[in-house]
A and B are shown apart, each in its own frame.
Chain A
Amino acid sequence: MSGKKGIILTGAIVGILAVVLVKFGNPVNMGLCIVCFIRDTAGGLGLHRAGVVQYIRPEIIGMALGAFIIALKSGDFNARGGSSPFTRFMLGVFVVIGALMFLGCPLRMVLRLAGGDLNALLGLAGFASGIFLGVLFLNRGFTLKRTYSLQRAEGYLFPAVQLMLLLLLLVRPAFILFSTEGPGSAYAPVIISLAAGLIIGIAAQRTRLCMVGGIRDLIMFRDTHLLTGFAAILVVAFVGSLVTSTFNLGFEGQPVAHADGLWNFLGMALAGLGSVLLGGCPMRQIILGAEGNIDSVVTFMGMLVGAAISHNFGLAASGSGPSANGRVAVVIGLAVVLIIGFMNTDKAADVKMKGDVSIDA
């Protein structure tokens, strides 16, 4: 299932499940949102104290476990790491700060658009601009250098941590926090969320679905392969929101969103730029982490910490708009990520190998 049909089918599955999850209780236009769900999980663990966004989201757990199981089966599982881990951690932090300014990861941006939230158009414009900027760095020789092989056991820890999170969710010990109001209190039954996550994890691992890869590959290589997955999510979720009558066209009064266009744009520009430098969107980082890519696990930890910081420092936007702290953080984030881009750009990008040979024709 590696061809075009596979990626379209995966996009369609993600679109349908996003609608189903909303139907069963997830917040509107937030059937799936990787960054929001990481933020909720950070809250559930008590890493931040924003009472309205605390819940260990089983969708994330399911995606990681589904991708892990299928990667083991297909032979794609391979523990590796060492490609600028702390730079990736910091990029993870800032991708989340940018996404929480917009109030959604690239995946939720598409779902918001599908639900008629026109603020997501500005998010998309920012996202594409960020990706374009990132491509300029890649073309100039930006690299976080290569990964190296690690012990297999290293790769088992991330899925094991996800199992532990599942256990905490099911046992509900007193130290795990659960929102009683707000988006964190809106969730589908655990079994449905977990199953949806598992299915998406499996499909996304097989087809390498990536929200940032679609626009990036279009700009860099005129390749529309990944973009068709992006488009399939949009179309299917759009039809789904019409069918379930959650479609609501406009800028004002959108669920878990604000109408400040400039900051929607800049937030997603930061998320897009950071994601291109990371080599994949937040969802893709989870899938790669489950396949044994420890750099992506480190990125995941960065996103978790970034989510906690966003709420502890009052950076995340809310329905009433961006906060002053959040604006400062997004500007700092753009500056830091640009500096990371410049400092990791190898002028001598032309990689020569010892084995290069000239053959007289």
Chain B
Amino acid sequence: MTLKNVDARGRACPEPVLLTKRAIDQSPERVQVFVDNTTAMENVKRFAVNLGYKVEITKDGQDFVLKISR
């Protein structure tokens, strides 16, 4: 099983979601996404939840870490 990390910090809309999508295509079991603003966090979360994933969010300073898993 692969854990894919995605660094989407500083990326403008819709790149965080697009990067997450690519990572999920490669590693459908587990993906971890780093973003640095609420908009990106909400967008990635909504995308993953719509695909039926569980999303666990932790705050790390200015950044958010989204753990996306089945």
Contacts and interface: CB of A to CB of B under 8 A. Distances in A.
How extensive is the interface on chain A, given as a class?
35 or more
Given A147-B12, A221-B47, A279-B13, A356 B7 contact: no
Contacts of A280: 12-13
A349 B3 contact: no
Nearest to B2: A358
B52 to A, nearest CB: 13
Contacts of B57: none
Interface in A68-92: 74-76, 78, 80, 83
Q: Chain A CB within 10 Å — which of B4, B5, B15, B50 has the most?
A: B15
A147 B13 contact: no
Contact of A223 (B5, B6, B46, B62): B46
B10 A147 contact: yes
A123 interface: no
B14 A216 contact: yes
Contacts of B2: 356-359
A231 interface: no
Nearest to B17: A221
By secondary structure, the A interface counts as: loop
Given A78-B37, A208-B39, A221-B47, A138 B14 contact: yes
A355 interface: yes
B67 interface: no
Contacts, number: 80
B5 to A, nearest CB: 4
Contacts of B11: 143, 146-147
A260 interface: no
A339 interface: no
A357 B30 CA distance: 11
Interface in B19-70: 19, 21-22, 26, 36-39, 42, 46-47, 50, 62
Contact of B13 (A213, A351, A359, A361): A213
Nearest to B10: A146
A356 B13 contact: no
A159 B62 CA distance: 22
Contacts of B4: 356
Nearest to A75: B38
A302 to B, nearest CB: 15
Interface string A262-284: 00000000000000001110000
A78 B10 contact: no
B6 A353 contact: yes
A356 B3 contact: yes
B11 to A, nearest CB: 6
B5 A355 contact: yes
Contacts of A349: 22
Contacts of A213: 13-14
B37 A351 contact: no
Given A76-B38, A144-B12, A279-B14, A225 B6 contact: no
Contacts of A358: 1-3
B46 A225 contact: yes
A76 B37 contact: yes
Nearest to B50: A223
Question: Most A CB atoms within 10 A — which of B1, B3, B12, B50?
Answer: B12
A279 to B, nearest CB: 4
A83 B62 contact: no
Interface in A142-159: 143-144, 146-149
B10 A223 contact: no
Nearest to A139: B18
List the 6 closest pairs (A to B, CB-CB), nearest first.
Answer: A146-B10, A279-B12, A353-B5, A361-B1, A279-B13, A147-B10
Interface of A: 2, 74-76, 78, 80, 83, 138-139, 143-144, 146-149, 208, 210, 213, 216-217, 220-221, 223, 225, 278-280, 295, 349-351, 353, 355-361
Interface of B: 1-7, 9-15, 17-19, 21-22, 26, 36-39, 42, 46-47, 50, 62
